[in-house]
A and B are shown apart, each in its own frame.
Chain A
Amino acid sequence: MSSPPLTEPTFLILTALADTPQHGYGVIGDVLEISDGRVKLRAGTLYAVLDRLRTEGLIEVEREEVVQSRLRRYYRLTAVGAQRLAEEAARLRHNANTAGNRLRRRDLLAEGGVG
C-alpha cells in the first residue's frame, strides 16, 4: 500500500534537509527560500512536523551544539526519509505532468505554464 501524500510543510522540510543537515531556524529560512517566500514556517508547526518525522524515522538528529547557552540540534534525512521524499516528488511530478499535458492538448496552457 502506498504512503499517504505529504503535506506541503512536511514536503518542504524534507526537501530542506535533503541538501544538508540543518537546525530549526536554518530549516525555516531554507523553506522560505525553496517556496519563493510563499511558506513561512512558524516554530509550532516546524517542531510538530520534526517530532512526527523523527517518530516515523524519516529524519534523525545529526549533532547537537550549544549556542549562547541554548541547545541547537541539527537534523538530517535518513535513508527511509530520502526514499519517502523521492516517492512524493515522483507522485507530484506525475500529477503535474498529467495536468500540463491535458492543458496543452486543449490549448489551455498559457505561455510559460506547467512544463
Chain B
Amino acid sequence: MTGRDLESRYRRLLAVYPWEHRRRYEDEMLGVLLEDALPGQRQPGIGDTVNLVVAGLRARLGWTARGLTDRAWSDAAAVTGLLAALTLVAVNGHAVISNIPPAPGPEHYPFGGDGIGALDWLPLGTWAVVCLALLAGLRRPAIVLVWAALLTDIALLPSQYGSNPIPAVSGLWQLVLGLVAAVAVTVRAPRRRALALLGTRRLLTIVLALATVDAVFLINRLASDSIGANGSVFYVFHLHDNKVPRRNLELTSGSDAQVMFYLAFLAAAVLALLAALTTMDGPVRRRIAVLLAPVVALVVLVEQTFDGWAVSNMNMGHPIYLVAAQWAALAAVPLLTLVIALLLLTRREHTLRMVALGRTADRNQPTP
C-alpha cells in the first residue's frame, strides 16, 4: 500500500510534464523514482519534488518551443505571409479606388473621394512588390520591404490619429495584418514555400477573388458617376452595420438588381477565398487561422464597440481621443485572441492524436 501511495504521488508530480513527454518517459521515470526510494518511504522527497517540477516546467516550455518551430508552423507562416501581403494589396487598391474623384458636372451626386495622390500608390506598390518578391523566392528583399512598410505605417499613425482618429483606429487591423505579414515572412522557410503549398490553382483563386472585390468597387465607383443625375432615384447599400457612414464600404446603384449583381460577385469572391483556404492541409490550415485570429478579433472589436465613440467624434466638431481603457482593449483583445487560439489548437490536435492512437490500438487489437 505504501508503494502505491508513493507511486500515485509521483504520478501527480509527473503531471507537470507535457503530455508528449509523459507518454514517452512517465513509466520509465516512475520506475527510477520508486527504485531510488527508501524502504517505507511514502512521500516524495523535497529534492525530487523540486527537481521534477522544475524539469517538468522546463520540458513544457521546451515542447512548446519545439511545437512553435515545427514544420507545420513554418509552412503556415509562409502561406500567411503571402496571404496577408495579397490582402494588403487588395486593401490598398481599394483605398486608391475610394479616392477616385467624382466626374465633373453639377448634376451628379458627389460619390467618390478627394483625388488620388502619389502617396496613395506607395503602399499599394510596396505590398505588390512584396508579393512578387515572395513568389519569386526573393525572401530577403521581401523581409526588408515588409518591415519598412510596417515601420512607416507605425511612424505615421500618431499624426493620422492626431488629425482624424476615426480612420486611424478603424484601420488599425491593417497595421496588425502588416505585423502578422512581417513576422510570418521573417520565419525561415524554403524558397517559394508558399507557392509550393498553395499550388498554382489555389493561388490563382485567391488572387482572382481579391481582384474581384477590388474590381466590383472600381466598376461601382466608375458607374456611380452616371447615377443620381437630374434627381433620379439611386440606391446605397452599406456593407457594414456601423453607425458611422463609410463611403469606401458602400455600393451605389440605379437599381436594386444592380446592387444584387455586385453583391453576388462579392459573395462569390469570399466563397472562393474560403474554399481555397479550407481545402489546405489540416495542420497548416489550423495554424493560418491562429495567425489571422488577432486581426479578425480587432476588426470585430472596433466595428462592434467603437461606433459610439466614432459617432461622438463626428458630431462634436473636434477630435475625441481614446481613453486608456480603450487603448488597453485594442492591445489586449488581439493578444488574448492569439493565446486562446493557440490553446484551442493545442487541444484540437491533442484530441486528433488521441483519436489516431485509439484507431491504431483498435486495428492492432480488434474486439472479438
A residues sitting closer than 8 Å to B (CB atoms) are 23-25, 28, 42-48, 50-51, 67-68, 70-73
Contact = CB atoms under 8 A, between A and B. Distances in A.
B21 interface: yes
B273 to A, nearest CB: 39
A47 B55 contact: yes
Contacts of A71: 27-28, 31
B27 to A, nearest CB: 4
A44 B35 contact: no
Contacts of B55: 44-45, 47-48
Contacts of A48: 55, 58-59
Nearest to A55: B66
A70 B36 contact: no
Interface string B53-83: 1111011000000000000000000000000
Chain B interface mostly: helix
Contacts of B59: 48, 51
Chain A interface mostly: helix
Interface stretch (B44-52, B227-235, B286-294, B315-323): B44-52
A55 to B, nearest CB: 9
A28 B28 contact: no
B52 A43 contact: yes
Contacts of B29: 24, 43, 47
B271 interface: no
B218 interface: no
Contacts of B53: 44
Contact of B31 (A24, A42, A44, A51): A24
A78 B175 CA distance: 50
A70 B54 CA distance: 24
A80 B54 CA distance: 29
A51 B25 contact: yes
Interface string B1-41: 00000000000000000000100110111111101100000
Contacts of B30: 70
